[in-house]
Amino acid sequence: MGGIDGNNHSNEPIVSTGEDNKLTVLITGCSDGGLGAALALAFHEAGFHVYATARDVAKMGELCAAAGPGIKTLPLDVQSASSIADCVARVKRLDILVNNAGTMMTMPLADVSIPQAKDIFDTNVWGVLAVTQAFLPLLLESARRQSGGGIIAVNTSVASVVAAPFLGVYSASKAATAMFCDTLRLELAVFGLHVVELKTGAVGPTKLIANNTSLLLAAPTTHGGGGVPVAGSGSSSAPPIILPEKSIYAPAREVVEDLLRRGYDGAWMPPTQWAKQVVQDLMQKKNAAAPPSRIWRGQSALLGWAVQFLPSFLTTGPVKRQTKYTQVEEVLRIARIYPGNDVE
């Protein structure tokens, strides 16, 4: 299956056009309205040859219309070995790989479906490793050319270092991926490869909920970002039941399900702004040799950085207030379920 770039629908490798000294980047998770699409446009505007990928190339129509033939689109399902192999076969040269595709699920850990949680890890953790391994030969060749390439970027999240209610599975998967980044950085440095982790804060709003109604059912939801959950309006009809019938949070069902649907309710950094900053950071040489190991961009990203060094008793309260979890606690206290302060 070929991309929808308008001029190449064969199964032959796509050969870069234009100046030979242009760097080539491939980005996963580029469905319209997501962070991957914003990155593709930012790299394109910076003069890169861009491969934008997604499970369904039809969902990159807006991206193609905005960029024209300057961006090549290819199908890529990070959970499918055959899809990954087909994509690799289409790419002749690669200087920068951006692992951006990810999945998200909001649900109390006490009620999480283990099979769904494993699916989150299959994409956010094993999918990243599988794609990285598959494109490694091309990236090694880029590093040998010493052309400024040989970069592996992985979009994780501030959620990898900040624990937030109802994001346990997502945060744990991003934390695991962050450790993969740290280890890969150690193992691949001798080959001239640079591994960069994108510690993304609140970026959006994007089309996450509008394009993936399965989030309302707490099912794994593919998205193109590594930040916090995206706020959305959901369905105009009565919302479906999200919490299991016998959930320990049942007394606060209305409040909890509203929080699960709305996700993060704070300030956002526009995706275009975030993407331009990330591209600039990736190409900024550190000590004239390498990009930074971690890039903290997005709303409240620096606060996420600071939280790493603060004791938990200083951060728990602000996190609960920011995520509106204090509302859940208050309802449970009134119902005398939560073992906090009694309410008369």
Q: How far is CA 143 from CA 17, 231, 314, in A?
A: 21, 40, 43
Determine how β-strand 102-104 pairs with β-strand 221-223.
Answer: antiparallel
Tens of pLDDT, residues 72-112: 999 999 999 999 999 999 999 999 999 999 998 899 999 99
The pLDDT value recorded for residue 262 is 72
Write out the DSSP string of 122-167.
IIIIIIHHHHHHHHHHHHHHHHHHTSS--EEEEE--GGGTS--TT-
Assigned domain for 82 exists: yes
Assigned domain for 159 exists: yes
Q: Where are the alpha helices (DSSP H) in 220-342?
A: 253-262, 271-282, 301-307, 312-322, 325-334
Assigned domain for 161 exists: yes
The pLDDT value recorded for residue 238 is 44
Between 10 and 127, the more confident residue is 127
Assigned domain for 117 exists: yes
Supply the residues annotated as catalytic. Answer: 170, 174
Is the per-residue pLDDT at 244 higher than 70?
yes
Name the DSSP class of 237. Answer: S
The pLDDT value recorded for residue 229 is 42
Task: Count up the domains in the chain and report the number.
Answer: 1
Is the per-residue pLDDT at 211 higher than 90?
no
Question: What's the rounded mean pLDDT across residues 11-20?
Answer: 44
Assigned domain for 226 exists: yes
What CATH number did the domain enclosing 305 receive? 3.40.50.720
Is the per-residue pLDDT at 158 higher than 60?
yes
The pLDDT value recorded for residue 21 is 75
Residue 28 near residue 100, CB atoms below 8 Å: yes
Please name the residues in contact with 225: beta carbons below 8 A apart, sequence gap of 6 or more. Answer: 29, 34, 35, 36, 100, 102, 155, 200, 203, 204, 206, 208
What percent of the chain has a predicted confidence (pLDDT) above 90? 55
The pLDDT value recorded for residue 311 is 82
Q: Which range of residues forms the domain containing residue 41?
A: 24-242+266-309
Question: What's the rounded mean pLDDT across residues 165-189?
Answer: 96
Between 290 and 222, the more confident residue is 290
Is the per-residue pLDDT at 27 higher than 60?
yes
Assigned domain for 128 exists: yes
Between 20 and 116, the more confident residue is 116
Assigned domain for 316 exists: no
